[in-house]
Amino acid sequence: MADEKKEIQIDPVILSPEVVDNFQKNYDNPSEALARDLVATMQQDYAEQMQEDPNFLTYEGLISGTAPFLEFLPAARLCRANAGRPQLFDL
């Protein structure tokens, strides 16, 4: 039997207008800053996996499609099966 990876369920992120405004006012690249902040929060949620593999979930790994975290997302597996490494914008 093949090594099946358990799918990860990600809870929706709800951003208030105040949070969005804060990022827009305080960062040169608010989209990247927000993405990095979300990744840092998710790294805490997956602390065990991060301890085993520090590259499990990183901003750079998500952008490049190399983060092992992506292997647990059904959309990423589909992208990989059809066209190689998934990119964050493909998911």
User: Which pLDDT does position 24 carry in this prediction?
Assistant: 97
Query: CA 26, CA 45: separation in Å to the nearest integer?
Result: 26
User: Which pLDDT does position 56 carry in this prediction?
Assistant: 96
Query: CA 49, CA 23: separation in Å to the nearest integer?
Result: 28
User: Which pLDDT does position 8 carry in this prediction?
Assistant: 78
6 against 58, higher pLDDT = 58
pLDDT of 83 strictly over 80: no
- Kindly tell me the number of DSSP H helices and DSSP E strands found in the chain: 5, 0
Q: How confident is the model over 16-71, as pLDDT tens digits?
A: 999 999 999 999 999 999 999 999 999 999 999 999 999 999 999 999 888 999 88
Domain boundaries, the chain: 28-90
